[in-house]
């Protein structure tokens, strides 16, 4: 490549600056997100103060910061919720993304033009009485003294109660046909009512002005000893890392994982067990109902740890407790229910020889908690947002199961026997409720609005679009005339997590979400990166009209926000990449501010010093002898904002109580699936290792001892199916799932 170089002052060649006459929206809004990439620097502190009215907010509106994550290098992602006259506008929120206090992106949904009376309202007590008189139950949950006392014990709070809370929120009716117009919003008391007789679990909204029923919806879904119990789970083999707890004066263990803040309980005490907590005398959880509860409890810990490894301690980043309720009378298999002080996952009773205590199902439901605390997808029952919520929950249900067991089966709820969701081909799903009638009933859509499969009533079926997208992005393949190269499941999971956590909002539509995936990928991996290209191809494959990026162009790679102190610590470097341009004999011409002292070397620009720290634009042109010219430019801001890295992790005192001896994915086995032999590589090998292979029913099939970190095991006499490999090496235990096919 010829490295001929020209360098010019920007001021003499380009007229950069503000596009006068353009409104705030015209300058920054691209249809789904705000992109702050021009010469004007906007700080996080002034976004919703100085520029508040540019977002259409009024004097009575305020944006309140909730979730906030700041990395060690200053990159931040912050969620703001809209309040009107001091009351939360349900579902209205903005995600703000930037670096070192400077805003780069913002996306979300706001309700503009609200005009609501908040003065002449009824009392909380009256609102609760209106709600209770509407249901007129024979036995409310808080009237069960044992159940009530158990909650106080579990939360170590004598004031804890199931008696309804009445929280004032501004909301609209949960009906897709009612638009998010300001006139459709009311100030209401949101009250959760739960009863045992008859079984009731509903959020009811009481109009705060007149006491009428505005809307109602079912929820979407002394000394002490920490110990590790043993469990043959229903579907995931034998484990010795079941987090349990026993007080010094107690004789039985309970399913309380104190370090992880997970408790598993019965929905209501019954004749077989005489209290609310599920207990076992020998910490070996084998009886059917105890086995179901313990299986769910073990699974919840694996899910908790997965998100902890993503830097998230509990759904709210602050260790919000998780409770699993078994033997629940819900008609569906499971549901997630958020409360202000804990997350609840309810599981139905075992039936027909099947338990719903499945690892992927627990992961699915807890992912709903993650979404609730971030983008709140579907909180107002917007159908596309609900479908996206289910799709992401399926993705991480399958992903976390594989994370814990070491093997990805690309199905969801495959152990149920009565229904299953597939990633490779959602059209082959079966057993789902409330799908369209006809020959494809029970199946899911594989692409957006797929005729015969797209459902108007079941968001689970429409989540198939996300599952297919994730499968293609992870594994590659061709679909609908589009060929996708694989990114692998880890990178694909990162893109999915980043997107639902920081780039979506409560009433986002499927097409908007597709565009946001592209935006998120560009922001985190770069324009024309391989990740960018494959995300676009995979989205086009599942029915979204996303423009293919023009990567036959030069692109500047380097920082856009620089702390002033960095100038005195080291040089700042940018490079110009030519991506898919095939003529390598061109020349680079850099255009730089007059106030900068720089060194240039072909496609590289090095900033040595500046006269002032005003925001500036830099540009580069790549030109060839054939007349081809490509130009790119970026804005560079200098930040003097004060920022501090956040710490959303539990204390070391809590972490040390985790069982670190069980390493779920600390071994490598291949090929997997296998036909006859399997190679086992053991990380952390000492002098010898004991290897045991179990069938999923708990039967020991094979046992051997190895004195090498690498071992070949003959399994040609095994029947086809799924097996659990359990290895002990020194003080470490390893578990891995093996598939044998013929």
- Give the tens place of pLDDT for each residue, 439-454: 566 799 999 999 999 9
**What percent of the chain shows pLDDT beyond 90?**
58
The whole-angstrom separation of Cα 233 and Cα 216 is 37
* Average pLDDT, integer, range 210-235: 69
pLDDT at 460: 92
**Per-residue pLDDT band at 123 (split at 50, 70, 90):** very high
pLDDT at 6: 53
Please tell me the least confidently modeled range out of 151-155, 311-315, 552-556: 151-155
**Per-residue pLDDT band at 199 (split at 50, 70, 90):** confident
**What percent of the chain shows pLDDT beyond 70?**
88
The whole-angstrom separation of Cα 263 and Cα 344 is 10
CB 121 within 8 A of CB 187: yes
pLDDT at 157: 83
Across the strands, what pairs with 107? Answer: 33, 95
* Average pLDDT, integer, range 231-240: 78
* Average pLDDT, integer, range 403-432: 88
pLDDT at 684: 61
DSSP 66-84: EEEEE-TTSEEEEEEEEEE
DSSP 695-707: ETTS-EEEEEEES
SS3 247: strand
In this predicted structure, the answer to whether residue 175 has a pLDDT above a threshold of 80 is yes
pLDDT at 8: 59
* Average pLDDT, integer, range 473-478: 97
Q: Which segments of 136-287 does DSSP mark as H helices, in order?
A: 145-155
In sequence order, the 6+-apart residues with CB closer than 8 A to the CB of 490 are none
Identify the structural domains of the chain with CATH numbers, from first to last: 5-14+552-639 (2.60.40.10), 24-109 (3.10.450), 124-217 (no CATH), 224-372 (3.10.170.10), 383-541 (1.10.390.10), 661-740 (2.60.40.10)
pLDDT at 672: 73
pLDDT higher for 66 or 650? 66
pLDDT at 1: 41
pLDDT at 656: 54
Tell me the pLDDT of the chain averaged across its residues. 86
* Average pLDDT, integer, range 639-667: 66
pLDDT at 222: 35
pLDDT at 680: 85
Which residue, 408, 410, 404, is CA-closest to 735? 404
In this predicted structure, the answer to whether residue 221 has a pLDDT above a threshold of 50 is no
Question: Peptide bond preceding 734: is omega within 30 degrees of 0, i.e. cis?
Answer: no
Please tell me the least confidently modeled range out of 143-152, 570-579, 609-618, 639-648: 143-152
Question: Peptide bond preceding 202: is omega within 30 degrees of 0, i.e. cis?
Answer: no
In this predicted structure, the answer to whether residue 372 has a pLDDT above a threshold of 80 is yes
**Per-residue pLDDT band at 666 (split at 50, 70, 90):** low
Choose from 269-273, 361-365, 608-612 the range with maximum mean pLDDT.
Answer: 361-365
* Average pLDDT, integer, range 352-379: 93
Q: What is the pLDDT of residues 271-288, one digit of tens each?
A: 333 445 677 777 877 766
pLDDT at 669: 80
Structure pTM?
0.83
Which residue, 493, 450, 451, 445, is CA-closest to 465? 445
* Average pLDDT, integer, range 474-502: 96
pLDDT higher for 324 or 7? 324
pLDDT at 274: 41
The token duo for 169 is 């929120």
pLDDT at 651: 64
């Amino acid at each position: 490549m010829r490295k001929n170089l020209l360098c010019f002052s920007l001021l003499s060649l380009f007229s950069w600056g503000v596009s006068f006459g353009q409104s705030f929206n015209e300058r920054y809004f691209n249809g789904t997100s705000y992109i702050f990439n021009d010469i004007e620097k906007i700080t996080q502190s002034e976004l919703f103060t100085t520029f508040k009215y540019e977002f259409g907010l009024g004097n009575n509106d305020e944006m309140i910061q909730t979730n906030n994550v700041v990395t060690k290098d200053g990159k931040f992602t912050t969620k703001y919720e809209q309040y009107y006259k001091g009351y939360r506008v349900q579902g209205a929120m903005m995600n703000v993304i930037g670096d070192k206090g400077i805003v780069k992106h913002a996306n979300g949904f706001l309700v503009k033009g609200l005009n609501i009376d908040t003065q002449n309202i009824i009392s909380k007590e009256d609102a609760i009485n209106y709600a209770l008189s509407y249901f007129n139950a024979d036995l409310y949950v808080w009237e069960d003294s044992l159940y009530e006392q158990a909650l106080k014990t579990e939360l170590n709070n004598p004031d804890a109660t199931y008696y309804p809370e009445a929280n004032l929120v501004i909301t609209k009716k949960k009906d897709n046909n009612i638009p998010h117009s300001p006139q459709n919003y009311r100030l209401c008391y949101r009250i959760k009512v739960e009863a045992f007789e008859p079984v009731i679990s509903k959020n009811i909204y009481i109009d705060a002005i007149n006491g009428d029923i505005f809307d109602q919806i079912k929820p979407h879904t002394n000394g002490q000893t920490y110990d590790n119990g043993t469990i043959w789970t229903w579907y995931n083999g034998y484990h010795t890392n079941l987090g349990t707890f026993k007080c010094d004066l107690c004789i039985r263990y309970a399913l309380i994982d104190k370090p992880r803040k997970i408790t598993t309980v019965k929905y209501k005490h019954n004749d077989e067990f005489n209290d609310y907590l599920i207990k076992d005398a020998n910490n070996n959880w084998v009886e059917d109902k105890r086995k179901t509860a313990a299986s769910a409890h073990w699974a919840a810990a694996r899910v908790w740890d997965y998100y902890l490894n993503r830097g998230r301690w509990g759904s709210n980043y602050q260790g919000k407790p998780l409770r699993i309720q078994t033997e629940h009378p819900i008609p569906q298999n499971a549901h997630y229910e958020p409360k202000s002080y804990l997350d609840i996952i309810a599981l139905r009773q075992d039936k027909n020889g099947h338990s719903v205590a499945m690892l992927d199902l627990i992961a699915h439901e807890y992912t709903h908690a993650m979404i609730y605390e971030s983008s709140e997808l579907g909180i107002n029952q917007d159908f596309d947002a609900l479908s996206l919520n289910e799709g992401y929950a399926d993705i991480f249900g399958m992903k976390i199961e594989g994370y814990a067991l070491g093997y990805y089966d690309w199905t969801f709820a495959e152990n149920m026997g009565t229904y299953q969701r597939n990633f490779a081909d959602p059209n082959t799903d079966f057993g789902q409720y409330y799908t369209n009638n006809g020959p494809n009933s029970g199946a899911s859509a594989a692409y957006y609005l797929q005729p015969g499969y797209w459902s108007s009533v079941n968001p689970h079926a429409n989540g198939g679009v996300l599952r297919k997208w994730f499968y293609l992005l992870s594994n590659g393949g061709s679909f609908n005339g589009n060929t996708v190269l694989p990114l692998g499941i880890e990178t694909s999971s990162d893109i999915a997590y980043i997107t639902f956590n920081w780039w979506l909002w409560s009433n986002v539509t499927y097409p908007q979400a597709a565009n946001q995936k592209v935006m998120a990928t560009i922001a985190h991996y770069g324009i024309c990166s391989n990740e960018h290209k494959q995300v676009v191809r995979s989205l086009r494959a599942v029915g979204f009209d996303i423009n293919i990026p023009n990567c036959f162009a030069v692109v500047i790679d380097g920082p856009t926000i620089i702390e002033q102190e960095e100038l005195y610590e080291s040089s700042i470097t940018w490079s110009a990449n030519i991506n898919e341009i095939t003529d390598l004999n061109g020349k680079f011409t850099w255009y730089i501010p007059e106030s900068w002292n720089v060194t240039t070397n072909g496609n590289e620009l090095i900033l040595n010093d500046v006269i002032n720290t005003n925001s500036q634009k830099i540009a580069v042109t790549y030109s060839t002898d054939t007349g081809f010219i490509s130009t790119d430019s970026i804005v560079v801001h200098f930040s003097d904002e004060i920022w501090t890295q956040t710490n959303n992790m539990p204390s070391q005192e809590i972490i040390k109580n985790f069982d670190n001896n069980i390493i779920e994915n600390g071994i490598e086995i291949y090929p997997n699936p296998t036909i006859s032999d399997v190679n086992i590589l053991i990380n952390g090998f000492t002098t010898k290792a004991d290897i045991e292979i179990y069938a999923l029913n708990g039967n020991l099939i094979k046992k051997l001892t190895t004195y090498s970190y690498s071992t070949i095991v003959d399994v040609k006499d095994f029947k086809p199916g799924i097996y659990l490999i359990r290895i002990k090496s020194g003080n470490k235990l390893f578990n891995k799932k093996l598939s044998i096919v013929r």
